[in-house]
Amino acid sequence: MNYGSQLSARQDTMCTLSRVRPRFTTPGQTHMRVALASNVPRAIQSVRVRIRPFNPSETVAVVDLSLRAWAPVHISIREALGPAINDALQPDWRAKQQRDAEDVLSAPGSNVWVADANATVAGFVAVRIHDDRRIGEIDMLAVDPFHQGAGIGTALTRFALDWIKASDISVAMVGTGADPGHAPARRTYEKAGMKLVPMARYFMKL
């Protein structure tokens, strides 16, 4: 599959989205109305966003948005790790990101939902319940840069936390980076009420 060719032309059409509080309906169908700021053409001033189950036919769309969303994050990771360690670990971040996303989307224990904005996949979240059923983990979360900053990441996170709780799991977890590229992710999880537990990981190029 050639994901690169499907990168959206809308990457150039960055615009500001004003935030609104997500309006939850049923656990399976979360709706929110996202109002665009006044500098956005009237025709697209209102975007209806719905959180619904991922369909495998949307794999290309989800992998594409993942590559767009993680591009700045990988620049930050490379700065944090240093080029020697980073390039030894992931000489081609795009290939690795694509594999990781495809693996999460197709894993038997994965539960994946997408944020559907006017019939476009704007973001996704993948959740996995650990085998001992002590933890529900947010495995992957990303929002297309075109749709970032409008509350979709927070809505997906809250949806995932509600789903984990409804599955009778009392602890939720997500792992992320402490580098500047992951600042939006940390803010998103903290906004959803999650608490940061400091942990350390050391690397050395041998």
Ligand X SMILES: CC(C)(COP(=O)(O)OP(=O)(O)OC[C@H]1O[C@@H](n2cnc3c(N)ncnc32)[C@H](O)[C@@H]1OP(=O)(O)O)[C@@H](O)C(=O)NCCC(=O)NCCS
Q: Where do contacts with ligand X occur on this chain (CB under 6 A)?
A: 19, 69-70, 73, 141-143, 148-154, 176, 182-185, 187-188, 191
**Smaller CB distance to ligand X: residue 70 or 163?**
70
3-class DSSP assignment, residue 24? strand
Nearest approach in angstroms of CB 193 to ligand X is 13
3-class DSSP assignment, residue 204? coil
* Strand spans (E) along the chain: 23-26, 29-35, 46-53, 110-117, 120-129, 135-143, 171-174
Nearest approach in angstroms of CB 3 to ligand X is 16
**Smaller CB distance to ligand X: residue 86 or 148?**
148
Nearest approach in angstroms of CB 206 to ligand X is 27
The residue at minimum Cβ distance from ligand X is: 153
Cβ burial of 51 (10 Å; 0-12, 13-18, 19+) is buried
Nearest approach in angstroms of CB 19 to ligand X is 6
- For residues 22 and 158, the answer to whether their CB atoms sit within 8 Å is yes
**Smaller CB distance to ligand X: residue 130 or 204?**
130
Strand ranges across the sheet with 110-117: 23-26, 29-35, 46-53, 110-117, 120-129, 135-143, 171-174
Nearest approach in angstroms of CB 181 to ligand X is 7
**Smaller CB distance to ligand X: residue 48 or 205?**
48
Q: Which residue has the tokens 């999650």?
A: 194
**Smaller CB distance to ligand X: residue 84 or 159?**
159
